[in-house]
Amino acid sequence: MDRDREYNPYRVFSRSQWAMLRDDTPMTLAEHEVEALHSMHDRLDLKEVEEIYLPLSRLLSMYVEAERRLFAAQRRFLHIEDRKMPYIIGVAGSVAVGKSTTARVLQALLARWSPRPKVDLVTTDGFLYPNGALEREGLMDKKGFPESYDLPALLAFLSDIKAGRRPVSAPVYSHLTYDIVPGGEIVVDRPDILIVEGLNVLQTGPLPRDGKAVPYVSDFFDFSVYIDADEPVLRQWYVERFLKLRDTAFHDPRSYFNRYAELSDEEATRTALSLWTRINLVNLEENILPTRPRAQLILKKGADHVVETVWLRRL
């Protein structure tokens, strides 16, 4: 027997095998709704939703229901009247891999499962330190690295969510200005399901020597998804996205990247490759990719943005 296969903690499904697990789950999204969910550079169509995300939403709905039943049994055992806390799903992966698309599709699908749960979505971009703070600390070229996030604030947010406090607010990040929106906030008020999307949400850290608890963001997750693709593919997607933004958002005078708006194709490609190599590739190799084995489910994409295999951690 192949030793890698023998000890693989995941069950690996081809696209066709995974698609069959949809069973008779009805398609609840119309084509125009699917079109509105994906990012500008990402590919998403009804077929992708039907073959990949419908089976995943079916699985997640089963997990959520199983958690609800376990909570009810524990409440009876302890003779308490606590309210069930939100089921939290983490979505991780590299820049340009399609995390936002996956998170939005799962939010839309899960919200339409009976009995119509309240599903909220928060991205960890809002917990980045403001540019002013990053500049003072010399971290602007490390934006998106673990040290560029206000981790205590993010952990406090998730702790409040799990403790059932209401309402809880999260900061807002603007991809146009490339900075935190002053005074902006997203209010999260006791959702049944919360999706948390971000580059480093599965990140860990050094263990303490004294045995004291060190919380990680992933400690608050009930389920986690890692969106995966090979590095050359990610690099190409990043360049393609940069070129599209150069032709669109970068032309807005408010854009942090407005200075790139008039670059030629060759100059823009060279700039994007430099940014990828100096910043995003380093973050991928040092911080993001090492967290992939911590995910409960991995969606592996091919060069056409289509999910080719699904890896589900064995129970």
- Model confidence pLDDT, tens digit, residues 5-33: 567 899 999 999 999 999 988 899 999 99
Distance of CA 264 to the CA centre of its chain: 32
* Tens of pLDDT, residues 130-171: 999 999 999 999 999 999 999 999 999 999 999 888 899 999
Q: For domain 3-313, give its CATH number from 3.40.50.620, 3.30.70.100, 3.40.50.300, 3.40.50.10210.
A: 3.40.50.300
Res 192: pLDDT = 94
Higher pLDDT, 40 or 43: 43
Res 227: pLDDT = 98
**pLDDT tier at 1, thresholds 50, 70, 90:** very low
User: How many CA atoms does the CB half-sphere of 84 hold within 13 Å?
Assistant: 19
Res 43: pLDDT = 84
Highest mean pLDDT among 38-42, 67-71, 203-207: 67-71
Q: Any idea where the domains of the chain sit in the sequence?
A: 3-313
* Tens of pLDDT, residues 200-257: 999 987 777 777 777 889 999 999 999 999 999 999 999 999 999 999 999 999 999 9
CA nearest to 113, candidates 30, 35, 29: 29
Cα angle: 177, vertex 196, 139; to 5 degrees: 45
pTM above 0.85, yes or no: yes
Res 6: pLDDT = 63
Res 208: pLDDT = 73
Kindly report the backbone phi and psi dihedral angles of residue 195, in degrees, each rounded to the nearest multiple of 5, phi listed first. -100, 125
Is the pLDDT at 40 greater than 80? The verdict is no
Higher pLDDT, 64 or 40: 64
Res 207: pLDDT = 73
- Between CA 217 and CA 226 the distance in angstroms is 15
Res 290: pLDDT = 95
Report the chain's terminal Cα–Cα distance, integer Å.
Answer: 22
Res 206: pLDDT = 74
Average pLDDT, the chain: 93
Res 5: pLDDT = 58
